[in-house]
Amino acid sequence: MVTEMFYKEISIPKKRLGEYRDISIPAQGLKYIQRWILDNILYNIPVSEVCTGFVKEKSIIDNAKKHINKDCVINMDIKDFFPSITYNDVFFIFKYYGYTNEVSFLLSKLCSYKGSLPQGAPTSPYISNIISYKLDVRFMLLAKKLKADYSRYADDITISGNKYLVKYLKVFKNILIEEGFKVNERKTRIQYSNKRQEVTGIIVNNKLSVPKETKQYLRQQIYYCKRFGVNSHLARIGIQKSNYKEHLYGMAFFIKMIQQEEGENMLNNLNDIDWDY
């Protein structure tokens, strides 16, 4: 069974200048099948309680609030998360949950691309959560022993506790390696309470709050759109039009989740913009 012909590959820029993320977008028919597999098979398979990304009724708020008011917050990022999960890993999931070799083969082929999880398929995020179950359990047990807290949002791992937690950083990294993952060393952060502590873009020092630069950026974009018009503003700063509106609204809804009144004010301001571009 060849599924490679049913994908379109694109590269999108990352936040870091000059870096790109490869996205494999399934064709509409394949995407429909993957969505069916997700809704009717994968969602029936449990994931760990500390998994907060791509799980129904959980969000980055749930991921961040466990780490409020801690002496030390450690963030680690799994490098190439989806590509690290292979076709064989996916096959084992379906086989473990009672499907025959033939059916497991078919389902695994439908959910993989070039031998690993495709970043762009609707099934990939939840499969990654299932695969990471053992990883989560190991971190949960260690965190309990250290009187710390642990959570994972997709490839973003956070452990928080007392100031001595940093002594176990090598142990944390070894767990990731033993479970078949790589640590993105560049994104590993150790944050103490005397400075800003951030978890998945949310400040957690004393309470949940949005970084001021995030709010300032959105205010600036709203101001320029109102003053110059959306088209003129985009041309002036050299930004592509395609998802600019959705990008700004997404930021406003993110702010509203954490600081409701401020987020609602920004949504009202966005609604006042002439978006005919």
Average pLDDT of the residues in 117-121: 96
pLDDT confidence band for 21 (50 / 70 / 90): confident
Average pLDDT of the residues in 144-150: 98
Average pLDDT of the residues in 82-87: 97
Average pLDDT of the residues in 223-250: 88
> What sections of the chain are H helices per DSSP?
28-40, 60-65, 81-84, 87-96, 101-111, 124-131, 133-145, 169-178, 212-228, 230-237, 244-258, 260-271
Q: Is the pLDDT of residue 1 over 60?
A: no
pLDDT of residue 237: 83
Average pLDDT of the residues in 86-106: 98
Ranges 25-29, 109-113, 232-236: which has the least confidence: 232-236
Give the angle 268-271-274 at the CA atoms, nearest 5°. Answer: 145
Q: For 3-200, which CATH class?
A: alpha beta
pLDDT of residue 181: 98
Q: Report the alpha-carbon distance of residue 251 to residue 246 in Å, rounded.
A: 9
Q: Report the alpha-carbon distance of residue 178 to residue 174 in Å, rounded.
A: 6
pLDDT tens-place string over residues 41-65: 999 999 999 999 999 999 999 999 9
| Spatial CA neighbour of 162 closest among 145, 180, 179 | 145
pLDDT tens-place string over residues 154-184: 999 999 999 999 999 999 999 999 999 999 9
Whether residue 139 contacts residue 171, with contact meaning beta carbons closer than 8 Å, is answered with: no
Amino acid identity at 202: I
Average pLDDT of the residues in 144-152: 98
Q: Is the pLDDT of residue 97 over 80?
A: yes
pLDDT of residue 22: 84
Ranges 13-17, 129-133, 246-250: which has the least confidence: 13-17
Whether residue 197 contacts residue 73, with contact meaning beta carbons closer than 8 Å, is answered with: yes
pLDDT tens-place string over residues 182-216: 999 999 999 999 999 999 999 999 999 999 999 99
pLDDT confidence band for 134 (50 / 70 / 90): very high
Average pLDDT of the residues in 213-239: 92
Ranges 2-6, 55-59, 96-100, 252-256: which has the least confidence: 2-6
pLDDT of residue 239: 74
Average pLDDT of the residues in 10-37: 84
**Domain map (residue ranges) of the chain:** 3-200, 212-272
Percent of the chain with pLDDT over 70: 95
Ranges 20-24, 136-140, 142-146, 245-249: which has the least confidence: 20-24
Q: Which residues lie closer than 8 Å to 110 by C-beta, 6 or more apart?
A: 3, 30, 33, 34, 37, 123
251 SS3 class: helix
- In sign, the C-alpha dihedral spanning 29, 31, 33, 39 is negative
